[in-house]
Structure 1
Amino acid sequence: MRLSSACFSPPNQEGEKRVLNSELWHACAGPLVSLPAIGSRVVYFPQGHSEQVAATTNREVDAHIPNYPSLPPQLICQLHNVTMHADIETDEVYAQMTLQPLSPQEQKETFLPAELGSLSKQPTNYFCKTLTASDTSTHGGFSVPRRAAEKVFPPLDYSQQPPAQELIARDLHDNEWKFRHIFRGQFFS
Structure 2
Amino acid sequence: MIGIDLNTVEDEEEGGPSAEPPRGTVCLELWHACAGPVGPLPRKGSAVVYLPEGHLEHTREAVAAVPPHVFCRVVDVNLQADPATDEVYAQVSLLVDNEEAKRRMRQGESEEACDGDGEDTGAAKRRARMPHMFCKTLTASDTSTHGGFSVPRRAAEDCFPPLDYNLQRPSQELVAKDLHGTEWRFRHIYRGQPRRHLLTTGWSAFVNKKKLVSGDAVLFLRGEDGVLQLGVRRAAQLKNVSPFPALFNQDSSLRSLGNVAHAVAMKSIFHIYYNPRYFADCFHNRLNCLY
TM-score by length of 1: 0.66
Aligned mate of 1:108, from 73, 96, 103 = 103
* Residues 45-93 of structure 1, C-alpha deviations (whole Å, 9 max, x = no match): 2221343xx3xxxxxx3x32x4135512x33321111122222333221
> Are 1:84 and 2:90 an aligned pair?
no
1:29 is matched with which residue?
35
Given the superposition, is the C-alpha separation of residues 161 and 69 from structure 1 closer, same or farther in structure 2, using an over 3 Å criterion? Answer: same
Q: What do residues 141-179 of structure 1 show as CA deviations (whole Å, max 9, x unaligned)? A: 211111111222122223333222211122223332211
Higher RCO (CA-CA < 8 Å; seq separation 6+) = 2
Of 43, 46, 50, the match for 1:40: 46
Counterpart of 2:135 in structure 1 is: 128
Structure 1 residues 34, 155: CA separation in 2 closer, same or farther (over 3 Å shift)?
farther
Residue 155 of structure 2: aligned partner: 148
Equivalent pairs, count: 163
| Matched letter for residue 24 of structure 1 | L
Question: AA paired with 1:71?
Answer: P
Unpaired runs of at least 5, structure 2: 1-17, 113-119, 197-291
* Distance in 1 between residues matched to 2:122 and 2:147, nearest whole Å: 47
Query: Greater strand percent: which structure?
Result: 2
User: Could you tell me which of 153, 160, 170 is aligned with 1:163?
Assistant: 170
More helix by share: 2
> Which ranges of structure 1 fall in alignment gaps of 5 or more residues?
1-13, 55-60
Worse overlay, 166-175 or 107-116: 107-116
- Larger mean CA deviation between 100-109 and 130-139 belongs to 130-139
Q: Which residue of 2 aligns with 1:8?
A: none
Structure-2 residue corresponding to 1:98: 93
TM-score (norm 2): 0.46
